[in-house]
Amino acid sequence: MNDEYIYQYPAPEYMENFKEMVAQRTTNTNGARKKVIVCFGISMAFLVLYCLPFLNFIDTYLLLVAVIFLCATVILLKGITKKIGTHNLMIQATESDMVLTYYSVGATPKKVLTLRYEDIIECQFFDKSYTKIQITFKKNKHSYLKSYSQTGGEVSHLVDTMVSFELNPYSYEQGFFMYIAPDYFNIKKYALTDKILKKYGNINEYFTRLAESEEVE
């Protein structure tokens, strides 16, 4: 892949901030998971004590503490679920190929798809809000998928010729697939219809809004 990008997100000057954000999110999520384990363990311990007959005189208090820690566990789990929904896609695209680096929270928090456009078998959106996209491709030395665990080690795939990404709505990720990518490879059953243009605007309107929203932030 050469350096003549037709599209690059984030821009080079924002790359360090982007990587710091991803690293911080992973750290926060791992910390939340540890808290869930601790709260759940304490809750189970108090439930065990509640069941012991010689502690009947304080069983109400034991049950109350167990319920409190169980509620804390549920709240923390909801927080982790929200973090799991947080994802970002780094894009480096030329006229003939692209590298997509997908960051999320889970067992494989980083996936890197190196892809030559001519190796794409099928690409399509899977929702009407254009925030889920799936790519099927021919695997070879030019097109391949790599995934990495939380410790940074590479992990194998049961299916390594298909990958799905969630795209943040009204973002540079979504904008790439809606407005830029169709000029270089086919996205199945997708076209810039009047309905889409009315909701999202044309390419200039879409990216102008993104730039303006960044200035406000």
Q: What is the pLDDT along the chain (217 residues), one digit of tens a residue?
A: 556 899 999 988 877 777 776 666 555 555 555 666 776 777 777 667 667 676 666 667 666 776 776 776 666 555 544 444 467 899 999 999 999 999 886 666 889 999 999 999 999 999 999 999 999 999 999 999 999 887 778 888 777 899 999 999 999 999 999 999 999 999 999 999 999 999 999 999 999 999 888 765 5
At residue 83, the pLDDT reads 46
Of 52, 84, 116, the residue at which a domain comes to its end is 84
Based on the fold, state whether residues 183 and 167 are members of the same structural domain.
Answer: yes
Domain range for 196: 88-216
Based on the fold, state whether residues 119 and 204 are members of the same structural domain.
Answer: yes
Of 42, 68, 84, the residue at which a domain comes to its end is 84
At residue 15, the pLDDT reads 74
Reference 105, options 14, 32, 17; nearest CA is: 32
- Tokens encoding 50: 């509640």
Of 50, 65, 84, the residue at which a domain comes to its end is 84
**In a domain? residue 150:** yes
Alpha helices in 85-171 (DSSP H): none
At residue 67, the pLDDT reads 73
Q: How far, in Å, CA of 11 to CA of 48, rounded?
A: 55
110 touches 102 (CB < 8 A): yes
Reference 131, options 161, 171, 80; nearest CA is: 171
Based on the fold, state whether residues 196 and 102 are members of the same structural domain.
Answer: yes
At residue 124, the pLDDT reads 97
**In a domain? residue 60:** yes
Q: Taking the C-alpha atoms of 165, 166, 171 and 177 in order, what is their torsion angle to the nearest 10 degrees?
A: 40
**In a domain? residue 47:** yes
CB-based contacts of 192, cutoff 8 Å, min separation 6: 178, 179, 182, 202
Based on the fold, state whether residues 22 and 92 are members of the same structural domain.
Answer: no
Direct distance between the N- and C-terminal alpha carbons of the chain, in angstroms, rounded to an integer: 33
At residue 78, the pLDDT reads 59
Based on the fold, state whether residues 56 and 103 are members of the same structural domain.
Answer: no
120 touches 185 (CB < 8 A): yes
